[in-house]
Amino acid sequence: MAQALKVSATEFARKFTTFRERVQSEGVIEITAHDRTIGGFLSAAELSHYHDMIRREREVIRVSDMDDETMALIMNSEYGKVSE
């Protein structure tokens, strides 16, 4: 993922309408104050992705509910090796 565009809180407040349009192509705009990140401005697509990740974070999957292919991948995986 490309690095987020960083703008100061002052610039963000002054040029909100510009950043409202730009976030659609950037995805995320990081808001800073005194060289520290204080928040972010997300496009609708990124916000939807965020909500989906939060929902999945709480999702419980039982081993008995997994299909054979997923179980085989887990059983044959190796520690430290990146999957293909």
* CATH code of the domain covering residue 53: 3.40.1620
pTM over 0.75: no
- pLDDT digit string (tens) for 14-73? 999 999 999 999 999 999 999 999 999 999 999 999 999 998 888 788 888 899 998 998
Structural domain tally of the chain? 1
CA angle 37, 39, 43 (to 5 degrees): 125
Looking at the domain assignment, is residue 54 inside a domain?
yes
Cα 48 to Cα 3: distance, rounded to the nearest angstrom? 19
Full residue range of the structural domain in which residue 25 is found: 5-75
**Residue ranges in the chain assigned as alpha helix (H):** 9-14, 16-26, 44-57, 68-75
Cα 31 to Cα 37: distance, rounded to the nearest angstrom? 6
Cα 56 to Cα 23: distance, rounded to the nearest angstrom? 25
Looking at the domain assignment, is residue 83 inside a domain?
no
Please check the confidence at residue 1 and state whether its pLDDT lies above 60: no
